[in-house]
Copies of this chain bind each other. A is one copy, B any other.
Amino acid sequence: MANEKKAVSAITSMDEDFAQWYTDVCTKAELIDYTSVKGMFIYRPYGYAIWENIQAELDRRFKATGHENVYLPVLIPESLLQKEKDHVEGFAPECAWVTMGGSEKLEDRLCIRPTSETLFCEHYKNIIHSHRDLPKLYNQWCSVLRWEKTSRPFLRHREFLWQEGHTMHATADEAREETQRMLNIYADFMENVLAMPVVKGQKTDKEKFNGAEETYTVECMMHDRKALQAGTSHYFGDGFAKAFDITFTGKDNVLHHPHQTSWGVSTRMIGGIIMTHGDDRGLVLPPRVAPIQAMVIPVAQHKEGVLEAAQALLERLRALGVRARLDDSDNSMGWKAAEYEMKGVPLRIEIGPKDMEKGQCCICRRDSGEKSFVPLAELESTVPALLDQVHEGLFARAKKNLEDHTRVCHTVDEVKQFMVSEGGFAKTMWCGELDCELKMKELAGVSSRCIPFAQEQVSDTCVCCGKPAKKMILWGVAY
């Protein structure tokens, strides 16, 4: 128990200092390490394993919808980046520039990709000629680099891991359909795999991606009621295609420009998992991406037959497809309990001499702390069901947080008060003008999160200027 207390006391409590709690979890659960370069982090094995599980789940969904993976260079010539005006304006200020190759000074300096639209367009120009070449449905798993001034594990790195989908279509309708399809895949993945409820909607013109015609987003609410933009999907129209002179001969035998999309999610989702589900004892991982779903711990392991029983239990779990491990180290039971709570392992399964006598094991859920004694004969039916219950429990708790802290507001003051006193998503009507969006930032400290697909008429006038409202919009404070 001494060990357990020691381990637990090492994390700052969420209510005391949420930011410090977050950093403590990232480092003590061994998800991440710092490096000597500011803003560049190391994804440690436990953190990277979460990303591998995320990748496997998403990659399967991408391939099932006809997408293919490719890999394009890490470096983009400045001249190529400059071909699309809005795009370069958005990204050039935060690029890292390669100016020397070996001992040779480069004529055209190269930036490390902040995103790869321009490279994909250069390639698409080479390979798209006829309507038979469309659609092109490509995805890339890679890292990107943005020279941010501030950084935070998972949420804002100078270099982070992500996937970027880039597709080309014969018609605007097809491209728009793709933009929605991928947003829906993200939403489904976040809710049904990460147990993170989302609000789907469209970004305002101010908040959309540089160079996009339309940007769609899935927004999540963290435990501290701040917003996390967890994934985006963009419709580009034929703007890039025109800038890069990409054309194809249609069925009508006439040259057309194809229509483009891009969409991405990143390791920022791991930050979202931590801040959605974590608690004062550490990380709480949604079972479907947890690197270890069940940790088997022998009790009084020096006693005859205990280790063998624990090992048999482990084998049965693995045969079920459960990602299970056994800790038979000489650390105390208290230390083990605290350690795997810190690491967010969904189920802790203990078995000792008394359990063996009764033909049972003791299963403790990380999300609720609930313990139950499960007959060994029922292991195969109980464990998968418990993992699903942990998922459902996490999702329900996060959904309640989102619903409890989304508030209809009618005035700027009301929004401001809501943010100061409680925090969350302020739901208001909006006239659609940039001026009002800027004023909301200035007067209430909020940015627009999205224009939700699920619209309601919460009043008739804009929360800010009082003119007739066009849309319902969500405001919040974002990571």
Contacts and interface: CB of A to CB of B under 8 A. Distances in A.
Contact of A69 (B52, B147, B158): B52
B119 A35 contact: yes
B41 A69 contact: no
Given A75-B159, A96-B75, A96-B101, A80 B36 contact: yes
A1 interface: no
A73 B112 contact: no
A324 B36 CA distance: 48
A149 to B, nearest CB: 8
Contacts of A389: none
Copies per assembly = 2
Interface in A11-54: 33, 35-37, 40-45, 48-49, 51-52
Contacts of A70: 42-45, 48
A74 B143 contact: yes
B99 A95 contact: no
A239 interface: no
Interface in A43-67: 43-45, 48-49, 51-52
Interface stretch (A122-130, A350-358, A374-382): A122-130
Interface in A98-120: 98-104, 109-110, 112, 119
A104 B95 CA distance: 10
A288 B179 CA distance: 35
Interface string A257-286: 000000000000000000000000000000
Contacts of A100: 96-97, 99, 109
A101 B111 CA distance: 10
Contact of A42 (B36, B40, B72): B72
B71 A42 contact: yes
A395 B179 CA distance: 46
B123 A42 contact: yes
A321 interface: no
A469 to B, nearest CB: 39
B68 A49 contact: yes
Nearest to A144: B74
A94 interface: yes
Interface string A327-359: 000000000000000000000000000000000
Contacts of A36: 77, 80, 122
Nearest to A109: B100
B42 A73 contact: yes
A112 B48 CA distance: 21
Interface core residue of A77, A98, A109, A138 (most chain B CB under 10 Å):
A98
Contact of A37 (B33, B75, B99, B127): B75
Nearest to A98: B96
Nearest to A69: B48
A262 B317 CA distance: 34
B98 A33 contact: no
Given A49-B68, A100-B99, A35 B122 contact: yes
Given A35-B123, A98-B96, A126-B33, A73 B103 contact: no
Contacts of A438: none
A74 B112 contact: yes
Contact of A40 (B75, B127, B145): B75
A161 interface: yes
A51 B69 CA distance: 10
A45 B138 contact: yes
B68 A43 contact: no
A94 B75 CA distance: 16
Contacts of A45: 68-70, 138
9 contacts: A37-B75, A40-B73, A40-B75, A42-B70, A42-B73, A45-B70, A97-B98, A97-B101, A100-B109
Closest 6 pairs between A and B when the two form their complex, measured CB to CB: A45-B68, A40-B73, A97-B100, A43-B71, A102-B147, A101-B147
Interface of A: 33, 35-37, 40-45, 48-49, 51-52, 68-75, 77, 80, 93-104, 109-110, 112, 119, 122-123, 126-127, 138, 142-143, 145, 147, 158-159, 161
